[in-house]
Structure 1
Amino acid sequence: MRYYLLLLFQIYICILAFVVTGCSSSLVSNTVKSPDGKLEFTIYKSEKGEPVYAFKANNKQLINNSSLGIKFKNNNVLTITECSIEETNERQVRDIWKPVWGKRAIVNDHFNEKTFTISSTAVDGLEKLLVVVRVYNDGVAFRYEIPTGNSKLEREPMECTTYNFADDYTAWSYNGEEHNIGPEKLTDSNGERLPVVTIKADDHNYMALHEAYLQEGEPLRLFSKKGEIAYSVISTPGKLHPNYSSAWRVIMYGTTPGTLVDSHLVELLNPEPDPKYDFSWVKPGIALWDWRMNGAEIDGFRYEMSYPSWVRAVDFAAEQGFAYLVLDANWYGPEFATDSDPINGDKANDVRRLIEYGKQKGVGIWLYLNDVGGKQYPIEETLKQYSKWGAVGVKYGFMTGTQEEKNKWTQTVTRLCAENHLLVDYHDNPVHPYGQMRTWPNAVTREYCHAQLDGYHVFVPETFCTSVFVNMLAGPLDMNNGMFDLRPGKTTRVDCNLPVPSTVTSEAARTLITFSGVTILPDIPEYYKKYPELLRFISAQKMPWVESKTLAGEIGEYIVMMRQTQEAWLIGAVTNELARTVEIPLSFLPKGKFIAQITKDGEDAHYFVNRESYQSVEESVDCNTVLKLELAAGGGACVLIQEK
């Protein structure tokens, strides 16, 4: 009897296993996993017949059933009750990307991809929609594609994408020229939110919402409703057409906030450059900037935005091995005057002389341009002339129009700059970066951040410690870091003469931490020379980087960044308004003995008072060393490690 009971029990288990397997088979076939198997993105049909997805990491559910698809404004929703989902294509990619410049010299491009066809017989809906899903080890991305054969595309579309989180997580989001929004609980969030939205699920699970490869349609906007734990996409996808592709909807993932910072997911979702373009001329580097120098007085000399001051800056840049000098507004006349000619303006002859002088010194000159000069005069001829003069870059400011129009114009200006071998930096509320630096390596930075010298009214140390975990996830930033004139009270600067709430060591460290293809220094040469150890630290930042790694950090609190050059390893650490001690293992070093120049806040340093107090020592270190750095309130530390 016991034998038969045991046999019946085994048969029951086999039947149960068959039933469970059969019930979940559709989910298995509709699941895409990361190459390491730790991330899972599943797409399937809901009880209402609509396409939905879910996301989990390390067996933890992070996003519950969330809507997918496109609908029209008459609310005839794609796949409302007649949805069918079919897997139509699958591939695995195990490649590498060698960027012209970036956070590291070699990037793994590893992902698993599936394409799903969603078919519908819904009245006035799309007949077919493709959903392409890619899962990397550090996040997932999906986009919508419309194949040929769809006949009902004339009406205005809306996107159905939602992010229905598994719990009431904590979020931070971009906020233009103000301090970032957050930290806020998802249930407290109410209204529009702009990317990047960085989310902390718990101490071991972090996400960030953004987009990549936006070719048409409105840049991403999200909406949240108070009391709920979800975001909805409210940006419009643009006019649909056969072979339409939406931007990638990106969910970055990491077990620490630093892994988000180190990710290349957004760039990898953009294509390689068109082979007809040769970008070998693109050189990242450090630049001086005449705008914040203007009005500074030192040893009887007053800096102005004029030829004598420019020459002085070029000489200093050449001494330090800095690559560039950026000339800001008004060099060709009042920047918003319609008769200010960007080729024949009042200082054009001085600028041409300066460019030739810079060539002799090995320093390239950037020229300012905005929408008034860029559209009042033919942009093609203007950029071609700048290239003929020998300028190396364009700082483009104050773009006008809707966000969709600005994105198209940004694409046009970037392409024209590439054709004329000009680097480009977009300022003044630009469209968010979405990985363009892979396709267009000349797009080296943009002011998609709360620039500290423009935002003195709210910029505090916490602002920086938040922006690097939010804004910087979108791409390279121009944030005005590196101000060394930190005297209390108003200065003699013409623009923004209020003091910066920071310490001098923190300012130097921020120049390393902030990822950018051109690090633009705002101060005059004499103030950098006043702090030789910190100047040495900045001058040692020889891009492109061989390697970068966020060693530690918490959103809004502190960050420790390591970047490696061909000759050295550099570490920058900064904190918010709270003093703290950080311990930094140097396990990234190879075997051998090295010399570390450690420059940190003085014992009496503080971002309100004693901003310029610092101390510097040299120590012998190796890969087993653990550095212990005391950071003052609002302060930082800089470490330069070289071979003995």
Structure 2
Amino acid sequence: MNVKALLFFCVLLGSMPAMAQKNYNLQSPDKVLQAQITVGDDIQFSLTHDGSEVLAPSSISMTLQDGEVLGAKPKVLKVVKASVDKEILSPFYKKSVVKDEYNEAAISFAGNYSIVFRLYNEGLAYRFVTKKKGDIIVVGEEAEYNFSKDHKTFAAYVNNKAETFEKQYFNSFEQPYVNESITKLNNQRLMILPFLVELDNGKKVCITEADLEEFPGMFLNNSADKPCLKAIHAPYPKIEEQGGHNRLQMLVKERENFIAKTKGTRSFPWRVFTVSADDKELADCDMVYRLASPSKVSDISWIKPGKVAWDWWNDWNLYGVDFRAGINNETYKYYIDFASAHGIEYVILDEGWAVNLQADMLQVIPEINLQELVDYGKAKNVGIILWAGYWAFARDMENVVKHYADMGVKGFKIDFLDRDDQKMVEFVYKAAKVCAENKMLVDFHGVFKPTGLQRTYPNVLNYEGVNGLEQLKWSPESYDMVTYDVTIPYIRMMAGPMDYTQGAMRNASRWNYRPVNSEPMSQGTRCRQLATYVIFESPFNMLCDNPSNYMREKECTEFIVNVPTVWDETVSLDGKVAEYIAMARKYGDDWYVGALTNWEPRELTLDLSFLGEGNYKIELFKDGINADRAACDYKKEVLSVPADRKLNIKMAPGGGYAARIYK
């Protein structure tokens, strides 16, 4: 072979892998987002927004126990593209109808699997789909999300500082955010979803997951060497033992060498990347709701969202009464009377009503007569909700749910799950299903972020998985809840509703806050607490303070109890992550407006053009002139909405603004 021929042959060989590589392009309906899927030796995807990079080429795969790697040396069999434009009815959500418009590419590979990519105007989602016989065991789902620059992030670590990931899997999914670049994050700590990356030109991408069923939740872990985020999943529990908080938890003592055992023919969870050009877009995003499985509850007429008078945060601290306040029937009848007088739908009996350390929900302390309380509440149009420790509920679920449903209890607040491995995810689905079958509501606490279960089982009205107001019962003076409040609407709330448990009537300016467990206070102003009922999505929403305090604050209490908990429309008005937010929500004929700022005083001009024609009044609550010193200082006014629909508002440091607009 001559030199020229040899050179040509070498060039040909070198180009063969590139020739074998296949590229598939997908764009959003508005053509702003562009995804490229590359199939060569592996499967990679990248994403751009209006020509600027969101994700650099990132490889994805799934490894099965038999050694098969879905995504290694892939062979494309076919590609099916589709465009969808429809509407989803969403009865217990931030809007009554969700627009579901996307372009999709389903790429099928040899080996009976496919990957489905969907591109919405708001972002990208992908999921693995398998068509294997029998059951399969998944060793891992691999993903490395790459960036060309070391972007800054808003990241929440697990709140378990143990030295190994194995121990960090046990956590309550409640943490404030750090604002660090990808490589500067602590790669010895797992990070929880949703996770926000700050891109160039003010753009953002928020990473989370949806339709998490029969599979563990996803954590992220960063590289210290390059801007890369790696997916991590808790392995399947092998040995568990009862323990933890009041022996109400199951602690994993040993795990398997795989993450899931599941059906061979199934769709796996969606991996979700929401992209924004303006921060306010993140505060009104429907990606997770859209991607969740449709409702499995045919009759939803019995599901009643609403407000809840809550006992635990205020430590049952009533005053001006002629009985000893505590966990007893007299106290709860007082809560029921308060709820009834103010149109509050529910009263919760939080931890303490069942005999301690027994993990048995059928053992009730002698100071409580549950049937009497249920009957008393029913006569006053107030439903009873029961707190339930995870293992006490899980170990005898069907019997417990039926027993209390027959008694007339309306639902459960299930707490201290503190894991998101496959077994715990399966528990969440089973609890939702069993409660739905018995017409019982569910509020999950000590739980991972929402992934759309509230669409699949609409009786699941709320989730914690948020660093809520309870933290101020014990957190030091240096703690900054105010900045967290203006960060979560763009990150955690993108995943779904959150039981933040607001409503404090003791309010503290920045330098006056201190932790007081039995008479806790909030950080920031009174108007801030009112505004959170508009800003924070929460179909099942607590009034955290005690009835004695609320009855001394008639105007504020009246506003809180009248704010709806589900909405017909939502409009994100203005905002910047970790600085401020302003939103408007409509229910019936009325609009509500809420705004929050960080510790900086702030003036905003809000565009109310969404009101349309007509004359409107606005009943508003604004920070008082001395609210920076005495955080309880506020002023209520009733004014006409300006004809130019420009509303000027002013907020104190740590302040807020809340209003109702009506014709």
Q: Is the 8 A contact 2:218 2:231 kept in 1?
A: yes
Verify the 8 A CA contact 2:282 2:491 in the aligned structure 1.
no
Partner of 1:138: 122
Matches within 5 A, 1:182-581: 182-191=178-187, 192-235=190-233, 238-239=260-261, 242-274=264-296, 277-299=298-320, 303-334=325-356, 337-338=357-358, 341-347=360-366, 350-376=369-395, 378-399=396-417, 403-428=421-446, 430-455=447-472, 456-457=474-475, 458-486=479-507, 495-581=517-603
CA distance in 2, matches of 1:297, 1:389: 27
CA contact 2:311–2:544 (8 Å) conserved in 1: yes
1:95 equivalent to 2:86? Answer: yes
2:655 aligns to what? 635
SS in 2 for 1:109: strand
Structure 1 residues 463 and 245: CA distance shift in structure 2, 3 A: same
Contact kept? 1:32, 1:40, Cα under 8 Å: yes
Task: Give the structure 2 partner of residue 58 of structure 1.
Answer: 50
Q: How many residues align?
A: 598
Q: 1:393 to 1:76 in 2, by over 3 A?
A: closer
311-320 or 561-570: bigger deviation: 311-320
Q: Secondary structure at the match of 1:322?
A: coil
Structure 2: gaps (5+ residues): 1-17, 160-173, 236-258
Distance 2:522 2:346 in 1: 24
Task: Tell me the secondary structure at the aligned position of residue 496 of structure 2.
Answer: coil
Which shows bigger deviation, 164-173 or 511-520? 164-173
Gapped regions of structure 1 (runs ≥ 5): 1-21, 120-126
Structure-2 residue corresponding to 1:41: 35
- The separation in 1 between residues aligned to 2:345 and 2:578, in whole angstroms, is 32
Contact 2:590 2:660 in 1 (8 A): yes
**What is the CA deviation profile of residues 537-561 of structure 1, one whole-angstrom value per residue up to 9, with x for unaligned ones?**
2122124311112211111111112
Letter of the structure 2 residue corresponding to residue 480 of structure 1: T
Residue 107 of structure 1 is aligned with which of 87, 92, 98? 98
Cα RMSD, aligned residues only: 2.6
Change (3 A) 1:309 1:363: same
Change (3 A) 1:75 1:222: farther
Structure 2 CA distance for aligned equivalents of residues 626 and 128 of structure 1? 57
Corresponding position of 1:84: 75
Structure 2: which amino acid aligns with 1:440? Y
Cα deviations by residue, 1:59-107 (Å, 9 ceiling, x for unpaired): 2221111102223689875554x43334432222211111121000111
2:145 maps to 1:163: yes
**1:142 Cα shift?**
0.5
How far residue 209 of structure 1 moved from its aligned partner, in angstroms, is 0.5
For 1:318 and 1:567, locate their aligned partners in 2 and report how far apart those are by CA, in whole Å: 25
Residue identity opposite 1:615 in structure 2: K
- Which of 634, 639, 660 is residue 614 of structure 1 equivalent to? 634
**One-letter amino acid of the counterpart of residue 296, structure 1:** N
Q: Distance in 2 between matches of 1:347 and 1:584?
A: 54
Give secondary structure in 2 for the equivalent of 1:292.
Answer: coil
Matched AA of 1:142:
Y
Q: Which residue of structure 2 aligns with residue 11 of structure 1?
A: none
Quote the residue 1:9 is aligned against. Answer: none
Matching residue's letter, 1:519: N
- Taking structure 2 as the reference length, the TM-score comes to 0.85
**Equivalent residues of 1:173, 1:181 under 8 A apart:** yes
| Secondary structure in structure 2 of the residue aligned to 1:368 | strand
Stretch deviating more after TM superposition (94-103 or 300-309) = 300-309
- 1:364 Cα deviation from its structure 2 partner: 1.1
1:287 partner amino acid: V
Conserved 8 A contact 1:355-1:389: yes
Q: Aligned pair in 2 of structure 1 residues 23, 566: CA closer, same or farther (>3 Å)?
A: farther
Q: Give distance in 2, aligned partners of 1:587 and 1:303.
A: 49
Give the secondary structure class of the aligned counterpart of 1:509.
Answer: helix
Task: Specify the SS of the correspondent of 1:290.
Answer: coil
Q: Distance in 2 between matches of 1:438 and 1:117?
A: 28
Kindly provide the amino acid, as one letter, of the partner of residue 468 in structure 1.
P
SS at match of 2:261: coil
* Map of 1:13 onto structure 2: none
CA distance in 1, matches of 2:551, 2:266: 55
Secondary structure of the structure 2 residue equivalent to 1:67: strand
Tell me, in whole angstroms, the C-alpha distance in 1 between the residues paired with 2:493 and 2:419. Answer: 24
Contact map agreement 2:194 2:208 (CA 8 A) in 1:
yes
Task: Quote the offset at 1:173 in angstroms.
Answer: 2.5
Offset from partner CA, 1:346-403 (integer Å, 9 cap, x none): 2586221121121122111101111342245x21111111111111110111226663
Report the counterpart of residue 624 of structure 1 in structure 2.
644
Change (3 A) 1:536 1:79: closer
Query: Does 2:150 match 1:172?
Result: no
Of 173, 176, 181, the residue aligned with 2:177 is 181
Amino acid at match of 1:174: A
Following TM superposition, by how much is the alpha carbon of 1:459 offset from its aligned partner in structure 2, in angstroms?
4.5
Q: Which segment is superposed worse, 341-350 or 617-626?
A: 341-350
Letter in 1 for 2:525: T
Give the distance between the partners of 2:76 and 2:61, measured in 1 at CA.
Answer: 12
Amino acid in structure 2 at the alignment position of 1:157: V
Distance 1:78 1:530, change over 3 A: same
Change (3 A) 1:319 1:624: farther
The sequence identity of aligned pairs, in percent, is 25
1:597 correspondence with 2:619: yes
Q: Which residue of 582, 602, 608 corresponds with 1:586? A: 608
Deviations 1:4-44 (A, max 9, x none): xxxxxxxxxxxxxxxxxx999953xx112222222222211
SS at match of 1:453: helix
Of the structure 1 ranges 97-106 and 482-491, higher mean CA displacement relative to structure 2 is found in 482-491
Counterpart CA distance in 2 for 1:25 and 1:238 is 31
Larger mean Cα displacement after TM superposition, 364-373 or 304-313: 304-313
**Given that residues 327 and 367 in structure 1 are in contact (C-alpha distance below 8 angstroms), is that contact kept between their aligned partners in structure 2?**
yes
Q: Residues 432 and 460 of structure 2 are in contact (CA less than 8 Å); yes or no, is this contact kept in structure 1?
A: yes
Write the distance in 1 (CA, Å) between the matches of 2:371 and 2:87: 42
User: Is the Cα–Cα contact under 8 Å of residues 33 and 135 in structure 1 kept in the other structure?
Assistant: yes
Q: Indicate if the aligned counterparts of 2:580 and 2:596 stay in contact, CA closer than 8 A.
A: yes
Q: SS of 2:486's equivalent?
A: helix
What is the distance in 2 between the residues matched to 1:557 and 1:300?
Answer: 42
